[in-house]
Every structure is written in C-alpha cells, then in structure tokens.
Structure 1
Amino acid sequence: MFFYKKRNVHGLLLLDKPRGISSNNALQKVKIIFNAKKAGYIGTLDPLATGMLPICFGECTKFSYYLTESHKTYHVIAKLGEKTSTSDSDGVIIQKRPILFNFRKLLLSIREFIGLIEQMPSMYSAIKYNGIPLYKYARRGINIIRDTRKVTIYDIYSIHQEKNLITFKIFCSKGTYIRTLIDDLGEKLGCGAHVVFLRRLQVASYLHTQLVTISDLYKLSSLKNIDNVKIFQNIDDLLIPIDDLISFLPKIYLSTEESYNFKLGAKIDFFSNIKNSLVRVIEEKSKRFIGVGKINKEALLIPYRLVSRFTN
C-alpha cells in the first residue's frame, strides 16, 4: 500500500467469507485491503461456513441493527449417523449410530422444526459468558449452563438425501444456530448428524449474487491508476451506500438550510402525508443521505440517527 494513514471509509460490503477462517479474521483482512479506520461484521459465521458476511464500514455501523435483526437463508449439507463434539465436521466423532429411517420419516421430522422453536446454543458458539466466548470455555473442557433461545424457522426446502448425506435450504430468523438444528434433527431421527457444509446465501434482501471475495478485493486493489491518485477507487466502487440498509423507509428531502439545522439536532417543521414514522433524510442539493429522522403527529421531523457531518 502507498498510503499508511487509515482512511474514513463508509458503506456496506457483502463479503463471501471463505472456508477455514473465522469471521473476525476475514474482517481484519478486508480492513487492511481497504486501509479502513473502522469496520465491523454482522452475524458470525463459523470457520467451516462460507457465504454472506456483511461488513459495515465507518458510519454504516450506526445502521447495522437493521441487518442484525433480519432473516437469513442457508444452504446446508449434513452427514447422518455421526454425532460430533461441535455438531460439525471440525469436531471429533463422539457417537456413531445406524441410519434406520426412510425418506418419509425424514420429511416428517424436518417439518417438526418449522415454526417457532427453542434452541440450546452450542458450547462451541461465539456467545459470550462473562465477556468470554463459549467456545473458549469448551476448549478447556468447561461446560457453562446456557438458557434456551426462541427462534423461527420459516421454511426448510429443496430437501435431498443421498446415502448418508442430506442437503436442504433453511430460511430462518436471526439468532438461529444451524449446527444446533442439525444436531437436534439427528437426535430426532435416532442416528445423530452433523454439518459438513454450510453457506449463507442471503441476509435480508441481499442475495448471494452480490457477494465479493477476498481474492476479488486483492485483484482490484492491485489495479492502480497511472498517477496513483485513486488507488482505492476500484474497491470503493464495490461498497453499497449506507442508506441502502434502510431502503424500506420512505425518503424525504431537505433544503441546504434545513439539512444544516437537522444535522445539528434541530427539529424541523415538515408537512407531509407521513406521520409517526421513521424516514430517510436526504439533502436535496447534494443528494447525500444525512440520517434517519422521525416525523411525529405534529408534523415535526425529529433527528433519530445522524450520519456524522465530518464524513467524506
């Protein structure tokens, strides 16, 4: 890199996390490529897992909540007849049992998991207890008592079985543990099961066709303009604008003067058909997104979450 000073980078990157590294490791690689001051990922993927890992840069982190709370879709391959210590192929086999059910029994068992269910998070998860991830306790042989969590499985489809492998897709709510789901399914079938392949295909309305690999980033970041002035332009062009995360909110425009006051935290008189709702606020002249506001019943636009006026 020609520039060593960290940059203010703002926007969303949909990273295709490769297999074999942690989500945090992937994040650090991307931060270095972008030479970014601030970035964070949404929704931890296990080292075994691949696929969509949304990375929010700079001011985009203020709006990451909307992705954190959203639904997700996964492509899963599970191996039957073997239960492992981690509920995936990275663990050791702790029990082997014969596979005695037929395909109809498999479909009926899967159907029982659709809807609101309770899950016990795995000890090999990133959930923290006293500030320490559970998997660190598990590696030391310490078992922590965990509370069950309620999650929603909206659909399990494209089910296919070939010998001791089953393949399907899962459309689920935030907080769903796929490894736990597969482990529970294995117990219901009486043979045990663990994850051998896991890929996140979708988060909210973002699709796997929008993914960018780390290899893509390395290649693009090595393509420099003749004068090296826009050395980061190739990869910056991959970033999704901040307000795309909240594209479901109605959009309103403010004049330059109104925008200035709004960014200072002032309430703005705003008469429209929108009442008692959050809105995306755009500066009319520059077309820049400046934050989220709320229009109340008294036709006042109240600042709710602002983009820093110091961003570039």
Structure 2
Amino acid sequence: MARRRKGRAISGVLLLNKPTGISSNKALQKVRAMLFASKGGHTGNLDPMATGLLPLCFGEATKFSSYLLDADKAYIACARLGQVSDTGDADGEIIHERSVPELSIEQLQQVMQGFVGAIEQVPPMYSALKQNGQPLYKLAREGKTVERKARPVTIYSIELINWQAPDLTFSVRCSKGTYVRTLAEDIGEQLGCGAHLISLHRTHTGGFEAAEMISMDQLQQVRDDEGSIDHYLLPADILVSHFAKKNLSAAETARILHGQDIANTENLTGMVRLYDPEQQFLGLAEASETGRLMPRRLIVTDETVTD
C-alpha cells in the first residue's frame, strides 16, 4: 500500500530568490516546509554559490516544471581574473595564479563579444552531469577526471557591467545547458590570465524576471507575522503560458477529463493549454497529425478520471 505524503495538497509556483550557500533542493525543502506542501520540485539547479531566480513548483504544478528546463536564462556574473579554481568558482580551491595584464574596456568587450553566438562548451567536472550513472562532481571529489564531450550552447548577448581589476562583472543571456562558470574560465583564458567565478545571480528564466522574486527572509518574516505565504503562489499554467490556448465546451471538457481526444477545430499545433467553460486550467493536450487534440498532462480535479 502506497504511503500518503504528509502536508497540504497545495498547488502553484513560487519565484524564489535563492540565497547563496545552499543547494536548490535545500531551498526547495525549506519553502516546502513553510508551505506545509505535500509535493514540490524545482525547475533546474542553481549552484550552491549562486543566487537569484529559482521557480519552485508545488502540487499539480510539478507536472509542468519540465517545460522550464529548456528555457533560456540570464545572469549577472562576476569573474576574478588571474586565478583558476578546481571547480571554476569560489567554492573551489585556487590551483593556478597568473598576473593580470593591463586591460582596456575595449579589449575586454572585444574578447567577450567573441563568445556571442553558437559555441561549444566542455562541461566542468564539478557538475551534476552523469557518466555511467555517476554524477561528475562525485568523481571529481575522488580526484578523478574523465573525458567530457563539448556540447553546443548559444550565448545570445554578453555585456560588460563593471571592470575593477581583477574583477570583471558582466551580464549574459544564454540557452539552456550553458555553464557560466565555464564561460568565465574561457574568457580568462582568452585574456591570457585565467579566471574563476566569484558570484552568479540569475535574473531571468523563461518568461520570469527577477522583479517577481521573493526572498527566503521575506517568506520567513510573513510566517513570523503569522501571515499566509500562499498568496505568493502563482497558478500552475504560468509555466506553460507560451503554448496556444484552447477553451473547451462542457462536452469537450468531459471527454478530456476521461482521457479521450477531441477535434482540433482550430488547427492548433504542438502542445495546447486546455481550459474548461469556467476558465479553470485542465492541463495540456498535443495536436496530432490526424486533426485531434490528445490529452497529455492533466490537472487532477474532482472530475478527472485516473487509473
């Protein structure tokens, strides 16, 4: 017999400003405990050192968290030139030091602009990528190094924010899978002195911006004041707002909730958001080549038929 989860069956998305020094999962569990939510997940790791935008999903919203994993990201990063660490960031040990040359703003901008566009990155050993089922960071902690294949990523823009030697602060917009640590290291190598990342703050993921975030301290203050943090939860469909929308009739709603397909009368393509006559989000359907909308991920309601 399956064990029932403890906590409330609460659903929604909370945009957390993750503090430095804790993992994304630790941040999730802290907020989940504050909400007393029975189920939670996040939409992709931020390194423990990193801060910033971390969408957390609870309840039914967890069914749609994967749609943010492929989203573009934006960061503000600070790299320290002249020092290379074994992890690529400030959490590691400095393993090489070189003098930093006299660098003009123009030289820095020229080197950084060389990384804009489609590039290839070799993932760092201190990463969650797996080799034969083992996370690379576990192998790295054992002093092992394995060959990693370069992966294609895209840097959409990179802009210099501040240069105060030896620290270089810049903003970057990039595709999924981009390691800003590696980008900082590669910029340092191009400048001839090496570098490692000393801070990283995520400002954007998918359609979410930093202005919408709330910090752990703010959440705790609401709790201490005996207020409810439930109102910081955004609806689950915000995770899939980039998909086309389909308003269903009562008859279509009944078919979808019974796991049956419906006619694609509007010739929609790809994944489609479904809403009942009361504008309640029901989940996603996928357009088929035969002119039908096939239910794929549905919100559990009192009317949903499950196996």
- TM-score normalised by L of structure 2: 0.90
CA deviations 1:138-175 (Å, max 9, x no partner) are: 11211122221111000001442112111110000001
Counterpart of 1:246, as a letter, is V
Residues 1:31 and 1:154: Cα distance change in structure 2 (over 3 Å):
same
Residue from 254, 264, 272 that aligns with 1:260: 254
Structure 2 distance, partners of 1:164, 1:155, is 22
* Contact kept in structure 2, 1:39 and 1:58, CA below 8 Å: yes
* Contact kept in structure 1, 2:119 and 2:155, CA below 8 Å: yes
Residue from 203, 206, 220 that aligns with 1:204: 206
Which position in structure 2 is the counterpart of 1:21? Answer: 22
CA deviations 1:199-248 (Å, max 9, x no partner) are: 000001100011111122222234447xxxxxxxx212111111111212
Aligned-pair Cα RMSD in Å: 2.1
Which position in structure 2 is the counterpart of 1:275? Answer: 268
Which position in structure 2 is the counterpart of 1:301? Answer: 293
1:174-193 equivalent positions in 2, closer than 5 A: 174-193=176-195
1:1-312 equivalent positions in 2, closer than 5 A: 5-103=6-104, 104-224=106-226, 234-269=228-263, 271-272=265-266, 274-285=267-278, 287-296=279-288, 299-309=291-301
* Contact kept in structure 2, 1:114 and 1:152, CA below 8 Å: yes
Q: CA deviation at 1:59?
A: 1.8
* Contact kept in structure 2, 1:275 and 1:296, CA below 8 Å: no
Unaligned runs of 5+ in 2: none
Structure 2 distance, partners of 1:13, 1:53, is 8
Which position in structure 2 is the counterpart of 1:228? Answer: none
Which position in structure 2 is the counterpart of 1:231? Answer: none
Bigger shift: 287-296 or 205-214? 287-296
Query: Identity over aligned residues, as a percent?
Result: 42
Structure 2 distance, partners of 1:24, 1:294, is 31
Structure 2 distance, partners of 1:310, 1:254, is 17
Q: CA deviation at 1:270?
A: 5.0
Structure 2 SS opposite 1:138: helix
Structure 2 distance, partners of 1:124, 1:10, is 33
* Contact kept in structure 2, 1:275 and 1:297, CA below 8 Å: no
Structure 2 distance, partners of 1:98, 1:131, is 40
Unaligned runs of 5+ in 1: 226-233
Residues 1:202 and 1:276: Cα distance change in structure 2 (over 3 Å):
closer
Counterpart of 1:284, as a letter, is P
Structure 1 distance, partners of 2:195, 2:302, is 52
Counterpart of 2:66, as a letter, is Y
Bigger shift: 207-216 or 263-272? 263-272
* Contact kept in structure 1, 2:41 and 2:65, CA below 8 Å: no
Structure 1 distance, partners of 2:126, 2:177, is 15
